[in-house]
């Protein structure tokens, strides 16, 4: 028997969520930035940056490669951990979908390794990194649906604005239709 994590769409700010894991749309420096990343460091406090600096001084001297994921403390956020992942920058010339799929998959693997049951994701790469929202939503939802053996039971996508929420709603309806 296979089980699928329950998928929920939420409109709002990721940093307000209560979950075992909050996923950060980071960059490979792990040292902060704008968007979700900026909000996570602002609200989570300096403990997150300290942990990221430790990672840069040890396992990830050259930075976290695109498509991979790593955990730190969640500082003052309402979560057990933050899992940082680096999405691909969208490109017209090159299909980087496999890297975006890898972000979701690897984040779930890291979360499962921490014993997490609930994971909240932003729409990775769809902000500063320029990924078209409809395609980003399709890839995100399809990837999570394929994780039929993950111990994570609750996956939430936290969408910042009405357009992002609508794109995820459409993609979820499409996925449900194709699943019959």
Residues that bind ligand AR6 (CB under 6 A): 13-15, 25-27, 33-37, 39, 87, 122-129, 158, 160, 164
Find the shortest distance in angstroms from Cβ 9 to ligand AR6: 12
Nearest to ligand AR6 of 33, 151 (CB atom): 33
- In order of 20, 51, 107, 159, 161, the CA distances from 70 in angstroms are 14, 11, 7, 22, 27
Q: Which is nearer to ligand AR6, 152 or 168 (CB)?
A: 168
DSSP for 109-148, written as a single string:
HHHHHTT-SEEEE--TTSSTT---HHHHHHHHHHHHHH-T
95 is catalytic: no
At 129, list the tokens: 């990194």
Q: How far is the CB of 167 from ligand AR6 (least distance, A)?
A: 9
DSSP 154-167: EEEEEESSHHHHHH
Rounded CA Rg of the chain = 15
Shortest Cβ 149–ligand AR6 spacing (Å): 27
Which residue's CB is nearer to ligand AR6, number 16 or number 154?
16
Looking at 37, 135, 161, 163, which residue is catalytic? 37
Question: Which residues have a catalytic role annotated?
Answer: 37
């Amino acid at each position: 028997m296979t089980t699928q994590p329950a998928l929920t769409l939420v409109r709002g700010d990721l940093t307000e969520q209560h979950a075992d894991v909050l996923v950060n749309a980071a960059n490979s420096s792990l040292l902060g930035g704008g968007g979700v990343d900026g909000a996570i460091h602002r609200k989570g406090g300096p403990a997150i940056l300290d942990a990221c600096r430790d990672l840069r001084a040890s396992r990830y001297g050259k930075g976290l490669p695109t498509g991979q994921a790593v955990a730190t403390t969640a500082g003052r956020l309402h979560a057990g951990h933050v899992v940082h992942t680096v999405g691909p920058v969208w490109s017209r010339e090159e299909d980087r979908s496999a890297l975006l799929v890898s972000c979701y998959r690897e984040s779930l693997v890291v979360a499962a390794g921490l014993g997490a049951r609930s994971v909240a994701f932003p729409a990775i790469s769809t902000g500063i990194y320029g990924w078209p929202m409809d395609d980003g939503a399709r890839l995100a939802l399809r990837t999570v649906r394929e994780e039929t053996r993950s111990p994570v039971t609750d996956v939430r996508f936290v969408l910042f604005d009405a357009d992002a929420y609508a794109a995820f709603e459409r993609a979820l309806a499409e996925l449900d239709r194709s699943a019959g």
